[in-house]
Amino acid sequence: MSEHTLKIHEIYLSIQGESTFAGLPCVFVRTTGCPLRCRWCDTPQAFSEGERLDVDAIVATVAGYDSTAIVEVTGGEPLMQKNVLPRMTALCDAGRTVLLETCGALDVVPVDPRVHIIMDIKCPDSGEVQRNRWENVAHLRPERDEIKLVLASRDDYVFARDVIRERDLPRHGRVLLSTVFGVLDPADVVAWMLDDHLPARFQLQLHKAIWGAETPGV
């Protein structure tokens, strides 16, 4: 891999659908490739489809959209490509608010400290729970980073509740719970959270509520 390229699935302007940034205009930079295969993955097209782009062209494409928008680097799994690290730094240097969506299986330590890390913790029904890199949690910053758990069942909820408590996740980042679209009723999860007094934020995937689950590029 040339040090001047990244394999990119798509770059587009939309609104941020998740996290505490939900609802804000956002340029998405979706990289190609992921080491995981979550059973409910909603972006399998990013496993391999994409083209190798010059990093300067990527930064120029992002700059060509709404210059006030936040920028999210997502995937696939962006940290599979080491060249993504200096690109995120360049975007921060340019004054952009940069979010990184990462699967939680790769080391987050090299990420520029100005980047807002939104890190997954995989639950059992994903089929990838054994890939959680728990040592990442200690490197997250509660004032800047977020921890996301996607639930597909009551068992996933119980797993999430227990790790939130046992690992004191709110001390490391804002904790977000969401459901696999169309698989688990959000009303059930909210009821369980309230019953358990769980210190977490429930979120719906805004983009799917607006455009539906099957619309690509939103």
**Site for ligand SF4, rule CB under 6 A:** 34, 36-38, 41, 43, 75-77, 103
CB of 46 to ligand SF4, least distance (A): 6
- CB-nearer residue toward ligand SF4: 66 or 135: 135
- CB-nearer residue toward ligand SF4: 63 or 183: 183
CB of 94 to ligand SF4, least distance (A): 26
Whole-number Å distance between alpha carbons of 124 and 114: 31
Q: CB within 8 A of 218, min separation 6: which ones? A: 12, 14, 17, 207, 210, 211
CB of 103 to ligand SF4, least distance (A): 4
Tokens of 34: 């992921």
CB of 135 to ligand SF4, least distance (A): 18
Q: Are 155 and 121 in contact (CB under 8 A)?
A: no
DSSP assignment string, 65-122: S-TTSEEEEESS-GGGSTTHHHHHHHHHHTT--EEEEE-SSS--TTS-TTSEEEEE--
- CB-nearer residue toward ligand SF4: 30 or 116: 30
CB atoms within 10 A of CB 53: 16
Residues 108-114: contacts with CB under 8 Å, at least 24 apart: 108/79, 108/136, 108/139, 108/140, 109/139, 110/85, 111/79, 111/85, 112/85, 112/88, 113/141, 114/89
**Euclidean distance between the first and the last CA atom of the chain, given in angstroms as a whole number:** 29
CB of 37 to ligand SF4, least distance (A): 5
- CB-nearer residue toward ligand SF4: 36 or 88: 36
- CB-nearer residue toward ligand SF4: 30 or 174: 30
- CB-nearer residue toward ligand SF4: 14 or 43: 43
CB of 61 to ligand SF4, least distance (A): 21
